[in-house]
Amino acid sequence: MIPIDDARAQVLDACQVLPVVEVDAPDMVGRVLAQDVVASENVPPFANSAVDGFGVRSHDVTTVPVRLRVVGTLAAGAPPDVSVGPGEAVRIMTGAVIPTGVDAVVMVEDSSMVGDDLVELTKAAQPGGAIRDEGSDVTAGSTVFRVGQVLNAAGIGVLASINARRVKSVARARVALLSTGDELVIDGSPLKPGQIRESNLTMLDRMIRDTGCEVTNLGVVRDDEDTLVEVLTRAVETCDAIVTSGGVSMGDFDVVKAVLSRHARMNWMQLAIKPAKPFAFGLWKNSRDVEVPIFGLPGNPVSSLISYELIARPALRKMMGHTVDLLRPKIRAVLDAPIARKPDGKVHYVRVHGNFSSDGRLHVRDTGPQGSHQLAATALANGLAEVPDGPGLTAGADVDVLLID
């Protein structure tokens, strides 16, 4: 059996980073930058008010209360067509341009109108108070984001603010997803003897999309070698990676093994973990001389989920340019209930649910039956507890937990 870290290292080493593409800024969420982003504009592009209030000359408002003559009103987006002299103020709205003569803004909450054209201010003003200076967020010529950074929603907001409409990114992985088996039912029809309803494709499709990939769901391919060859040959020409479900166990007599063994350089692994012991990885060279990674996940749904999380997901993230956080975050947690197991030379990944307690630590307990076919209990889990080989862990013991939700 292969330790999980060794198996993952082999797969990561074989998976290459995808090409660089130019991307519309709004589509950059979750993607890795392939080129520094340098601002061409100041943000904000002009000094403006941070609050609704009155623009003043600060030395007029050192002693309060004080009354000033209101000489106009400035709204956001309006030209600053008014100037403020000694003893004067201008009503100003949040985001409006700071006009000539103003070096501070007093909040409207600290003011009251006296008649039609006088305002009484009850709070002293400081030079620069409540004013957003030009370039105080971003300065033209500065590097806003660097190669390798992953952008979130705020990041694409920054791109919009500096008019960076298209940027360079590592491409998203286009992943072909399929399962094989004459026993799988996908159309909702009544089950016949020996048939089961397909669930892995439904689950994996969402998991792969959540990884940031584009998915081509090829559905269930029947147990026919010619059909499978045709489907996979198209997939290696149009996709960057292939994920299959089922047909990778040592005892399996399956068309997946037959086809992949003939057309790809495959490594049929037995991982030192439970569940998800069987795993396959290979490279299928397409007509452009590009070797397309193939991730062969086991057919049992929990095994499929865990092998995707532990190996396929990190590899797909590497292909899309991620260099850190390839794995899910791991945290040292406290077991609130014992986890029993027997020594078998494997690390057991136990589905657990956890919450942070008043002691500031994550407390977890298993979610129920842990069989590799028992997906219902897995749906309740937000973590995978790594239980080392041995007799198990007692309540109160520390355990490493991968946070999957």
| Residues 264 and 369 placed together within one structural domain of the fold | no
Give the Cα separation of 354 and 125 in Å (integer): 51
Mean pLDDT computed over 224-234: 92
Does residue 93 have a pLDDT over 60? yes
pLDDT at 47: 98
CA dihedral 94, 99, 101, 102 (to 10 degrees): 10
User: Would the CA dihedral through 255, 287, 206, 319 be positive or negative?
Assistant: positive
pLDDT at 256: 84
pLDDT band at 176 (very low <50, low <70, confident <90, very high): very high
Instruction: Tell me whether residue 159 is exposed, middle or buried, using C-beta atoms within 10 angstroms of its C-beta: 0 to 12, 13 to 18, 19 or more.
Output: buried
Cβ–Cβ under 8 Å, residues 23 and 326: no
| Residues 259 and 398 placed together within one structural domain of the fold | no
| Residues 39 and 15 placed together within one structural domain of the fold | no
Single out the residue of 214, 215, 179, 212 nearest to residue 198, CA to CA: 179
pLDDT at 251: 57
CATH code, domain carrying 57:
2.170.190.11
| Residues 375 and 311 placed together within one structural domain of the fold | no
| Residues 156 and 32 placed together within one structural domain of the fold | yes
CATH code, domain carrying 356:
2.40.340.10
pLDDT at 58: 98
pLDDT band at 6 (very low <50, low <70, confident <90, very high): very high
Range of the domain at 77: 48-132
325 found inside a domain:
no
Q: Pairing between strand 143-145 and 241-245? A: unpaired
pLDDT at 386: 98
pLDDT at 158: 97
Tens of pLDDT, residue by residue over 290-336, are 999 999 999 889 999 999 999 999 999 999 999 989 999 999 999 99
| Residues 209 and 91 placed together within one structural domain of the fold | no
pLDDT band at 131 (very low <50, low <70, confident <90, very high): very high
Tens of pLDDT, residue by residue over 37-72, are 999 999 999 999 999 999 999 999 999 999 999 999
Mean pLDDT computed over 88-114: 98
Mean pLDDT computed over 168-173: 98
Q: How many domains does one find in the chain?
A: 4
Give residues with Cβ within 8 angstroms of 360, minimum separation 6.
none
95 found inside a domain:
yes
Does residue 185 have a pLDDT over 80? no
| Residues 196 and 337 placed together within one structural domain of the fold | no
Does residue 18 have a pLDDT over 70? yes
Mean pLDDT for all residues in the chain: 94
Does residue 252 have a pLDDT over 60? no
**SS3 state of residue 335:** strand
CATH code, domain carrying 298:
3.40.980.10
